[in-house]
Amino acid sequence: MTNDGAAARPLEGKTALVTGGSRGIGAAIALELGRLGANVVLTYRSNEAAAEAVAAEVRALGSECLATGGDVRSEADLERIVEGARERFGGVDILVNNAGTTDDKLVMRMGTDSWNDILATNLTSAFIATRLVLRHMTRARWGRIINISSVAGVMGNAGQANYAASKAGMLGLTKSVAREVASRSITVNAVTPGFVETDLTSKLTEEQQATILTQIPMGRFGSAAEIAPLVGFLATDGASYITGQTFNIDGGLVMQ
Ligand code: NDP
């Protein structure tokens, strides 16, 4: 292989696990990691056809790809997914905790079930998946964990106490794990997208969307393809000295 090839596919030989890779931001991340040369394991909850279509696109980029079903709220499913990645590719080198969802209500009307469900889907899943992949990363003395949080976790959002708490929790998880594993050359970072055009934000009413747009300096929602390149970079050796950080990608919504 020429040097140009190595530069174009810096993740050749690495295996990435992307939860929730069947649609939206996760699908764009799976494609980006495949483009950079990684073997990709992408997961879905129920959209098998969509997941297989993304997997076919990754393969068309010249990388191997496995689509695996499973509910990230289930520890047994996460164990099966990580074990499947180990059997096929030897272990997970890059974990992207992306699967997530919303169940918006004002806190006075929010049932405890809704709270627990969003915490389990968005936060506990990331904790369990992290624990499952760390043994391999620790042995390999190389690893990348990238948590897809949200600006809601940074600034809060009325109607999203459960979601914002889960996403803020991811930031605490990110920083704590980053400190635990830094000496092994494993980096742990968080990406906090603002409003991105996916099925998740298509639930917003036109009125809600118009209000949000007034707060975004760039005056538009982002696309999933505008989130994926930073995740790809964080997975490469170019990002080897970056850990415990939170990166907003939000058209300027949050400026720190
Ligand atoms: P989508 O709703 O478009 O896709 C969600 C993905 O997660 C799908 O692949 C879905 O699988 C999977 N998923 C959902 N619940 C589960 C579950 N219980 N078990 C396994 N897989 C599950 O979401 P987005 O692409 O918009 O969001 C991706 C991530 O980015 C989320 O964590 C979200 O919170 C975060 N984010 C999104 C923003 C946005 O504006 N869109 C802004 C900030 C953060 P399936 O297709 O099978 O249902």
Contacts of 208 (CB under 8 A, 6+ apart): none
Using the structure block, give the residue that is written with the tokens 């490469």.
236
Residue nearest to atom 21 of ligand 1 (CA): 45
CB atoms within 10 A of CB 202: 9
In this prediction, residue 1 carries a pLDDT of 47
With a Cβ cut-off of 6 Å, ligand 1 is lined by: 20, 22-26, 44-47, 50, 71-73, 98-101, 121-122, 148, 150, 193, 195-196, 198-201
Residue nearest to atom 3 of ligand 1 (CA): 24
Which numbered atom of ligand 1 lies nearest the CA of 221?
40
Question: For the segment 155-181, what is each residue's pLDDT rounded down to a tens digit?
Answer: 999 999 999 999 999 999 999 999 999
Question: For the segment 28-81, what is each residue's pLDDT rounded down to a tens digit?
Answer: 999 999 999 999 999 999 999 999 999 999 999 999 999 999 999 999 999 999
Confidence (pTM):
0.98
Question: For the segment 206-219, what is each residue's pLDDT rounded down to a tens digit?
Answer: 999 999 999 999 99
Distance, CA of 136 to CA of 157 (rounded, Å): 37
Quote the tokens at residue 174: 């990110």
Contacts of 81 (CB under 8 A, 6+ apart): 17, 19, 41, 43, 68, 70
Residue 183 C-alpha to ligand 1 middle, in angstroms? Answer: 31
Question: Annotated catalytic sites, by residue?
Answer: 163
Cross-strand bridge partners of residue 47: none
Residue 200 C-alpha to ligand 1 middle, in angstroms? Answer: 7
Residue nearest to atom 27 of ligand 1 (CA): 25
Residue 99 C-alpha to ligand 1 middle, in angstroms? Answer: 5
Please give the span between the terminal C-alpha atoms of the chain, in angstroms, as a whole number: 43
Residue 168 C-alpha to ligand 1 middle, in angstroms? Answer: 16
Closest among 184, 178, 151 to 245, alpha carbons compared: 178
In this prediction, residue 256 carries a pLDDT of 83
Question: For the segment 200-247, what is each residue's pLDDT rounded down to a tens digit?
Answer: 999 889 999 999 999 999 999 999 999 999 999 999 999 999 999 999
| Secondary-structure percent of the chain, ordered helix, strand, coil, rounded to 5 | 50, 15, 30
